[in-house]
Amino acid sequence: MKLVLLDRDGVINVDRPDSVKSRDEFTLLPDVIPAIKLLNEASIPIAIVTNQAVVGRGELTRDGLEDIHDYFKDILKKKGAFIDKIYACTSTDSKNFHRKPNPGLLLDALDHFQVKPHEAILIGDALRDLEAASAIKCPRILVRTGKGNKTLEKGLPPAVLPITICNNLYEAVSHLLDEETC
Ligand SMILES: [Mg+2]
């Protein structure tokens, strides 16, 4: 595995129904930093691929989004961890190629790291994450955090299968690195 593609809200930080609009509203989920550290130590690059329509709706500026991400990067840095790249789609238009479930963000990341879809893995909590990955034949893990359990309860369309299901990001990363069963 040469690249990990991470959804943000519900995988890294607490998913808020009204979106994360400031650093005060950005709350990390448990064991996210150790999970990221494991990937850093294994020299596996990490790219965040996140829909942030909150910007397109005018509820958060691009600078505000940058500030939230700077805050996150600072937290990581203090713990000796890092994310390699963050890709955000700010559009509200479901037809936008970069807005998941469309695969544009994922393709940008794969292109940057020169990795083929089957050599990467996406970890997400929502159906649209799985759809974006399956559209380009990228393997995928659904975590139960964020919208994860609800996504499972609604039932997964056959098109996104097979997937691996893990309780959270730390378990997903452990699974990837140790081939443990989730
Ligand atoms: Mg999410």
Model confidence band, residue 44 (pLDDT cutoffs 50, 70, 90): very high
Active site residue 15: no
Taking residues 152-177, report their average pLDDT.
97
Could you tell me the two tokens for 160? 């996104």
CA of 156 to the centre of ligand 1 (A): 16
Q: What does pLDDT average to over the chain?
A: 97
Active site residue 7: yes
The residues facing 8 across adjacent strands are none
Describe the crossing of helices 104-113 and 127-135 by its angle, rounded to 10 degrees.
60
Question: How far, in Å, is the centroid of ligand 1 from the Cα of 146?
Answer: 6
Whole-model pTM? 0.97
What mean pLDDT is predicted for residues 123-150? 98
pLDDT of residue 178: 86
Structure tokens at 69: 């991400």
Domain residue spans of the chain: 3-178
C-alpha of residue 8 to centroid of ligand 1, in Å: 6
Give pLDDT tens digits for 60-69.
999 999 999 9
Q: Which residue has the tokens 């963050």?
A: 86
CATH number of 3-178: 3.40.50.1000
Beta bridge partner(s), residue 28: 13
CA proximity to 56, closest of 90, 17, 104, 14: 90
15 is written with which tokens?
A: 């998913």
